[in-house]
Amino acid sequence: MENTTTKTSNLHQRRQEIRTGRHCVFNLHVHLVFVTKYRQKIFTKEHLDFMRKVFADICVDYQAELIEFDGEVEHVHLLINYPPQAQVSKMINSLKGVSSRLLKKQFPSITKWYFNNKSLWSPSYFAASCGGAPIGIIRQYIEQQKTPE
């Protein structure tokens, strides 16, 4: 049986793996934050555990992988590794829509927090690309390329 340090190290290595497609090599990550409508304090640990599974399943549909997930009573954070052909905005719509619907089905008492019995999530979200070298280093590398004369 592996110890916790080995598991953590293996997970870190897996996150750093470069993935390949038919015509590309990539390592794309996006950090997402979804907030409940009107920042209602809704979520419990049970809700978050359920959402982790739902979000992971949705990611598979986009050939993506949920690397990390956690949240608090009114928002959740996701770190997703995704392929270049995945449209992040469509994946976000699916993540929010399906999770809202399945949470309502699994936890009927949560419906009282849905705005007009429809919306769990605020229509806005935070998305940031992440991983790899910092922007300044990449900019410097590009600037130092030898432009042909």
In a domain, 9, yes or no: no
* DSSP characters over 69-82: EEE-SSEEEEEEEE
Section 112-139 average pLDDT: 84
The side-by-side arrangement of strands in the sheet containing 65-71 is 65-71, 75-82, 28-36, 121-130
Beta bridge pairs of residue 128: 31
| More confident position, 144 or 44 | 44
What is the per-residue pLDDT for 14?
A: 47
Domain CATH number, residue 99:
3.30.70.1290
Q: What is the pLDDT of residues 101-115, one digit of tens each?
A: 999 999 988 888 776
In a domain, 48, yes or no: yes
3-state secondary structure of 46: helix
Number of domains into which the chain is organized: 1
Q: Is the pLDDT of residue 53 over 60?
A: yes
In a domain, 1, yes or no: no
In a domain, 133, yes or no: yes
Q: Is the pLDDT of residue 12 over 70?
A: no
In a domain, 83, yes or no: yes
Between CA 8 and CA 138 the distance in angstroms is 28
Among 14-18, 99-103, 142-146, the range scoring the smallest mean pLDDT is 14-18
Between CA 54 and CA 95 the distance in angstroms is 8
- Structural domain for 103, as ranges: 24-143
In a domain, 35, yes or no: yes
Between CA 5 and CA 115 the distance in angstroms is 43
Q: Is the pLDDT of residue 57 over 90?
A: yes
What is the per-residue pLDDT for 56?
A: 98
In a domain, 7, yes or no: no
In a domain, 134, yes or no: yes
Contacts of 104 (CB under 8 A, 6+ apart): 110, 111, 114, 120
Q: Is the pLDDT of residue 1 over 50?
A: no
Query: DSSP character for 110?
Result: G
Among 3-12, 81-90, 107-116, the range with the most confident prediction by mean pLDDT is 81-90
